[in-house]
Structure 1
Amino acid sequence: MDSSSPGGWADRPGPRSLPALDRQISRCRACPRLVAWREEVARTKRAAFADHTYWGRPVPGFGPADARLLVVGLAPAAHGGNRTGRMFTGDRSGDVLYRALHDVGLASRPTSVSRDDGLELHGVRVTSPVHCAPPANRPAPAERDTCRPWLVRELRLLRPTLRAVVVLGGFGWQASLPALAEAGWRVPSPRPGFRHGARVTLDGLELFGCFHVSQRNTFTGRLTPQMLREVLRTAAGTAGLPVGP
């Protein structure tokens, strides 16, 4: 396995800081199908972004190293994070998420368009259990499991300050529970199932479930902006972060 893949350090002491972890993640080539897809998308591009230089690599998490709240998604979008190099940036799902974060006082602005747009998150970090854009937005179970050590390491580095986690969707929920257990939290057995509004108390950490901010959910009204704001506001308050009305 490539030395820049999670398997290259899973059994050894990992990066000692989130910036170091982010650099390692951005070099990972552990999943051949995902590497081929993300690079093909970056070459061919979407017509609307023909003049853009795509990131075309694994997308690291985004947010401060002392975050008290973590938001966990699914994977970068082919023409969103895979293009911009920032989680939930440059696509409609990200538009919904960052607007909600701004509405509750957790983001400095309501939009996220590029890695250098000046956006700052306040006490919250955004990540995914799979760091490469997958075909049809569907990572394979083996790809999810291969990527898990990155999430485990991220959780361990965040543990001194982390107090709450919001997981967007069932895929992220299923990926996050074993990662949380491996990172040192006691996860109930049997593991709790996903539902919107789920809340699970771990030792020193509150875990919240929320429907994913996918277009399928937001366009149909399954997840409304108010529903998303309510989950984020509750989670942020639990984490001890100041929130807006």
Structure 2
Amino acid sequence: MAHTLLSAPSHELKSHIASTYNAIAPQYNAWTASHHDFRLDYLNRLLPHLPSSGARILELGAGAGDPGTALLAALPGAHIVANDISSAQLSLLRARLAYEISAGKLETREGDMMDLTFSDGVLDAVVGLYSIIHLPREEQRELLRRIGRWVRGGGWLLVNFAGKEIEGSVQMGWLEVEHEGKESQNAMYWSSWGPAESSRLVQEAGFRIKVEEIGGKEDPDADFLWVLAQKAE
């Protein structure tokens, strides 16, 4: 039987995602620590393409800021906007990167990434690792269109999608420690258009794909499509 959240309004779905990440922040951060190399590999492919100083970068799903936000905020003169739906994760990020925030190199924006707004052409890059997959598929399409407007000509997009088509999937108690006799109320959600359509949507948003590959498993059963793409001039 399909989970009731699969037919729930988007705001209700996002509320569950936020509360779940708040509840499992320590487990999630410990779980991802062994997979940092995947993220750093692709981030380091992006870095040579960024301005030598003063890059303006949006990070979607920044989490606790390790390792991605910390790496980006260390760039000379950079200004990073770190977005996440989880208040618990952003609280950890603010503590970890307090100096970068006080120095004006980093700002945080808590909430649904679909509520973000930027002027056209103001960003040098957008990074979205393991984050856009939490949006319903139609919102993924719309967000990519918006990113295509926010990023300047010649700017960059680094993003990953699920490596297979997923109309919508809900898992209860994801990454939780099991409590005997107690049913978890925490729910996690993912969706994906699949590799071919996800790549097409990136191109439709005005980007030319430079890297497109399947890899970066954070779970033995989960492949991801990694895309590094440049906005047409």
Q: TM-score, normalised by structure 1?
A: 0.36
Q: Which has the higher strand share?
A: 2
